[in-house]
């Protein structure tokens, strides 16, 4: 067919657009970057504009210069006959070298024993070092760490990576990246009483993972007067096992809490950062008793302190 095309051009005195050995690059998907040691399959599609191609006549896709930094093979066979005007797709197996850097992979059609011809496929490939360093987790906190069934708990994780973190999860649930190092998620306390562990996983963009754990306790709620909270030794014994609820009138206010006076006239300190109560308000508070604080105080979340009047 090419000979007929050449004869017609000669008859009319017109130069041929394509030579006897001609190929046109249609497309390729060789990647621009790979991880060191990574293996991929890439594809190159060529269109034949010359004589018939087939393997018997030694037509192949060849590695330019008879070598390629990403391929041990220097030839890819033509699977079937490729007539003039038709195209063929070659599949290459490319493996990135172990040493990071920029490499050139280039390919061209060849008729072995005769000539190289047509468009050259040339791609610069950046080989990146493999990231084998897992993320680091500095801490996992659960606030509050003692709660009633169904309470909202804020889980916070301090996680970093030498490159980039892809995700942090708690019990398989995705956490939000709220600041440079901190990831958080609000969960609901379990229904069952006792300690509940939380599994945390940090994953970087290379797939390296680091596990960590946190825990919280689900406890029952006991009512206690301000007098018993301040003076009852039993309260101290139960403080790590129960939450306490009390109420009274606010007698003084600080930035992070207030003093609550019960019916007996005794006052108890309540710590509730973010509260909006003022002196004279009648308030109910529920939280964890901390007898070691100075002064001892009922440690409450803002949502567990409410005005009653």
The domain spanning residue 178 has which CATH number?
A: 2.60.40.10
Residue 231 shares a structural domain with residue 274: yes
Domain of residue 167: give its range: 136-218
Looking at residues 165-171, what average pLDDT do you find?
Answer: 97
CA–chain centroid gap for 194, Å, is 32
Query: Burial letters for 18-34: b for 16+ Cβ neighbours within 10 Å, e otherwise?
Result: beebbbebeebebeeeb
In contact, 108 and 120? CB cutoff 8 Å: yes
Tell me the three-class secondary structure of the chain, residue by residue.
CHHHHHHHHHHHCCCCCCCCCCEEEEEECCCCEEECCCEEEEEEEEEECCCCECHHHCEEEEEHHHCECCECCCEEECCCCECCCCEEEEEEEEECCCCCEEEEEEEEEEECCCEEEEEEEEEEEEEECCCCCCCEEEEEEEECCEECCCCEEEEEEEEECCCCEEEEEECCEECEECCCCEEEEEEECCCCCEEEEEEEEEEECCCCEEEEEEEEEECEEEECCHHHHHHCHHHHHHCCCEEEEEEEEEEEECCCEEEEECCCCCEEEEECCCCCCCCCCEEEEEEEEECCCCCCEEECCHHHEEECC
CA atoms of 136 and 40, how far apart (whole Å): 30
Q: Is the pLDDT score of 182 beyond 50?
A: yes
Query: How many domains does the chain divide into?
Result: 3
Looking at residues 280-307, what average pLDDT do you find?
Answer: 93
**Reported confidence tier of residue 263, pLDDT bands at 50, 70, 90:** confident
154-163, 169-178, 223-232, 258-267: the lowest-pLDDT one: 223-232
Mean pLDDT over the full length of the chain = 92
pLDDT for 8 equals: 52
CATH number of 266's domain: 2.40.50.140
Residue 196 shares a structural domain with residue 224: no
Q: Is the pLDDT score of 15 beyond 70?
A: no
pLDDT for 11 equals: 47
Residue 35 shares a structural domain with residue 124: yes
Residue 156 shares a structural domain with residue 209: yes
Residue at a domain's end among 78, 104, 128:
128
Residue 229 shares a structural domain with residue 211: no
Residue at a domain's end among 190, 218, 246:
218
Residue 97 shares a structural domain with residue 33: yes
Residue 142 shares a structural domain with residue 208: yes
Looking at residues 170-194, what average pLDDT do you find?
Answer: 97
CA atoms of 299 and 64, how far apart (whole Å): 74
Residue 53 shares a structural domain with residue 102: yes
Task: For residue 175, give both structure tokens.
Answer: 């956490």
Residue 226 shares a structural domain with residue 212: no
CA atoms of 115 and 111, how far apart (whole Å): 5
Residue 184 shares a structural domain with residue 280: no
Cβ-in-10-Å burial (0-12, 13-18, 19+) of 141 comes to middle
Residue 104 shares a structural domain with residue 18: yes
**Reported confidence tier of residue 236, pLDDT bands at 50, 70, 90:** confident
**Reported confidence tier of residue 233, pLDDT bands at 50, 70, 90:** confident
Q: What is the pLDDT of residues 119-149, one digit of tens each?
A: 999 999 999 998 999 999 999 999 999 999 9
Residue at a domain's end among 128, 162, 177:
128
Collect contacts of 76-79 with beta carbons under 8 A, ≥24 apart: 76/107, 78/53, 78/54, 79/55
pLDDT for 166 equals: 97
Residue 235 shares a structural domain with residue 149: no
pLDDT for 20 equals: 87
pLDDT for 4 equals: 56
pLDDT for 61 equals: 98
CA atoms of 104 and 254, how far apart (whole Å): 69
**Reported confidence tier of residue 229, pLDDT bands at 50, 70, 90:** confident
């Amino acid at each position: 067919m090419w000979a007929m095309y050449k004869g017609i051009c000669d008859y009319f005195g017109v130069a041929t657009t394509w030579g006897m050995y001609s190929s046109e690059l249609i497309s390729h998907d060789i990647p621009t970057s790979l991880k060191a040691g990574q293996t991929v399959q890439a594809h190159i599609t060529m269109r034949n504009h010359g004589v018939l191609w087939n393997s018997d006549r030694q037509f192949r896709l060849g590695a330019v210069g008879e070598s390629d930094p990403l391929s041990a093979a220097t030839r890819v066979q033509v699977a079937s006959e490729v007539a003039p005007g038709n195209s063929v797709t070659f599949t290459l197996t490319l493996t990135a070298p172990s040493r990071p850097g920029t490499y050139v992979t280039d390919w061209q059609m060849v008729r072995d024993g005769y000539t190289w011809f047509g468009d050259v496929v040339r791609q610069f490939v950046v080989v990146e070092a493999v990231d084998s360093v897992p993320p680091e987790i500095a801490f996992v906190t659960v606030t509050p760490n003692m709660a009633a069934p169904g309470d909202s708990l804020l889980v916070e994780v301090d996680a970093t990576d030498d490159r980039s973190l892809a995700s942090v999860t708690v019990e398989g649930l995705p956490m939000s990246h709220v600041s440079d190092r901190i990831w958080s998620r609000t969960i609901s306390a379990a229904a069952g009483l006792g300690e509940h562990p939380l599994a945390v996983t940090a994953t970087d963009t290379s797939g390296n993972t680091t596990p960590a754990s946190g825990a919280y306790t689900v406890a029952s709620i006991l009512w206690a007067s301000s007098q018993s909270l301040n003076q009852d030794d039993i309260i101290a014994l139960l403080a790590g096992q129960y939450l306490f609820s009390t109420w009274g009138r606010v007698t003084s206010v600080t930035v992070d809490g207030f003093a609550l006076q019960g019916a007996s006239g005794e006052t108890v300190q309540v710590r509730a950062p973010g509260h909006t109560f003022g002196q004279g308000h009648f308030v109910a508070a529920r939280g964890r008793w901390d007898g070691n604080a100075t002064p001892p105080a009922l440690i409450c979340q803002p949502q567990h302190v409410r005005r009653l009047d």
